[in-house]
Amino acid sequence: MLCEETKPLISLYVDDAVSLPTRVAIDEHMGACPVCRSHLAELRALRQSLRSLSRPVPPQDLSSSITQAVAIEAAAQRLEPRLSLSQQFTRWLEPKLMPYTVGSFASVLLFAAMFVGLRPHFVALREAAAQSAANNSVVIIDTRFVLDLNQPVNSEDYAASRAPFAEQSPSLNPSGSLAALTRNYSHAPHSDTDEMMVVADVFSNGSASLADVVQAPRNRRMLTDFESALRRDPAFVPASLDRRPDTMRVVFSVQKVDVRDRNF
């Protein structure tokens, strides 16, 4: 036998609880293995030490005290009134329901405390949402002018909202072809737009003509559409609305901008 097989059997070997063939195999292993012989000697010494311990002596009145305690408990049970089936069920159910009842009550108290603590924040959020909804359709560009995004913007109001910038930069005609083309650029896919920079002359009645191309787009259709929008109708508001000179030269630029913030 190997040590791994012998060690679990040494305790049974000491107690003479192994079969004869197993005892013979263990004896052969003990004769060749000093480690297992040492373990066997320790177990035998421990067994001899336990045998030398004195046996505990029970008190003389132990038997009578146990008998008396049993008699008292039996008499108490006989005097106790007999419980009905519903009372027995209630007594059995109470210990099981008590933890759940305490936990539920504690949860209700905690929720109430959190609601009271967060109530001012809820009120502030509700008021902010209501104010945002009320102002969602109104844009204040100047302290004197309020534009409603749900209503068409006319040239007079748009020009007035840009004062005093309109003196150096003419205002686009909100209902003109150039403004529509600009909106198309902003809604077009990123791959469909290109960078372009041109110079245009703006006249007193708001019409304009292409004067120079500083940076031509790779997509020549963009430049063609721009020229067509200038010829179709007045691209800008009249000079009298902007309080600008009758003739101006402006630079029109289209650039690609990658806006990662979706809230913008």
pLDDT band (50, 70, 90) for residue 150: low
CA gap 202, 170 in Å, rounded: 8
Q: How far apart are CA 139 and CA 15, in angstroms?
A: 98
List the beta bridge partners of residue 212: 199
Q: Can you tell me the mean pLDDT for 49-62? A: 82
Tell me: pLDDT of 138 over 70: no
Residues 6+ apart with CB under 8 A from 148: 137, 138, 139
Residue type, position 222, single letter: M
Q: How confident is the model at residue 143 (pLDDT cuts 50, 70, 90)?
A: very low
Q: Please state the rounded mean pLDDT for residues 86-101.
A: 72
pTM recorded for the entire structure: 0.41
Cis peptide before 164 (omega within 30 of 0): yes
Confidence grade of residue 129 (pLDDT, cut at 50, 70, 90): confident
DSSP per-residue codes, the chain: --HHHHGGGHHHHHTT-S-HHHHHHHHHHHHH-HHHHHHHHHHHHHHHHHHTSPPP---TTHHHHHHHHHHHHHHHHHHSPPPPHHHHHHHHHHHHHHHHHHHHHHHHHHHHHHHHHHHHHHHHHHHHHHHHHHHTTEEEEETTEEEETTSPPPHHHHHHHTTTGGGTSPPB-TTSHHHHHHHHHHHS-GGG---EEEEEEE-TTS-EEEEEEEE--SSHHHHHHHHHHHHHS-SB--HHHHT--SSEEEEEEE-------TT-
Per-residue model confidence as pLDDT tens digits over 222-248: 888 888 988 889 989 998 888 888 888
Give the per-residue pLDDT at 124: 80
What local confidence, expressed as pLDDT, does residue 102 receive? 63
Choosing among 2.60.40, 3.30.1150, 3.40.1400, 3.40.50, the CATH entry for 146-254 is 3.30.1150
Q: Would the pLDDT of 137 be above 50?
A: no
What does the pLDDT look like over 168-220, one tens digit per residue? 888 888 888 888 888 777 666 655 567 888 899 999 898 999 888 888 888 88
